[in-house]
Structure formats: C-alpha cells, structure tokens
Amino acid sequence: MPVSGGDEVQVFDSLSIWANFDVMREGIYYFPLAVAPRQYRLQFYRFADGKKETVAPFEIERSFGISVSPDRRTILFAPWESKGSDLMLIENFR
C-alpha cells in the first residue's frame, strides 16, 4: 500500500517460507516457491518499476530466512540440507 494512501498491491505471488525476504531501500530480495525440487532462485523486486529479476539460482532443499548486507554485496541464508545447522556466506552476488 502506498505510504500516501491508495489501494494495496500484491508485489509477488509466493514465498518459499514466510521469513524468506529482506526489504531494502530500492526493493525486496526474496525466495519464491521452488521451480522444481531443490531448485530455488533468489529474486529482487524493484520498487521503482515493479520489475522482478533473478539474482542467483540455488540447488538447496529450502532456506529459512535471509539477510542482505546494507551494501547489497553479501547475503546470508541458512539452507536446510540435513538435520543440523549450516551457514552459507555468498560474496559479490550482484
């Protein structure tokens, strides 16, 4: 919904998990539903023009939550590869 008022607008169709997005000044990074088993893609929704672009594809089971650094050069997410915990750091993903 625009800050100045008006109708609400759906910005994307799906999320893989409710916590899989991060809002930045220019737009939203998010993981939509998988396109196939273990086939996810990180996408960016740009506020200025409403366009969506794929930033990077990933072969992971799922992820729970993402965080993008303020300079947008690093993303942190935790893939669910097995029972346990793993952290993955991706640098220079733009």
3-state secondary structure 43-75: EEEECCCCCEEEEEEECCCCEEEEEECCCCCEE
What does the alpha-carbon distance between residue 57 and residue 48 come to, in Å, rounded to a whole number? 24
Along the 94 residues of the chain, how does pLDDT read in single tens digits? 778 888 888 887 887 778 889 999 999 999 888 878 878 889 999 999 989 999 988 887 777 888 999 998 888 887 776 666 667 777 887 6
Domain range for 81 is 21-91
User: Is 29 within the bounds of a domain?
Assistant: yes
Question: Residue 46 has what pLDDT?
Answer: 93
User: Is 82 within the bounds of a domain?
Assistant: yes
List, in sequence order, every residue forming a beta bridge with 75; answer none if it has no partner: 68, 90
Question: Residue 85 has what pLDDT?
Answer: 63
User: Is 9 within the bounds of a domain?
Assistant: no
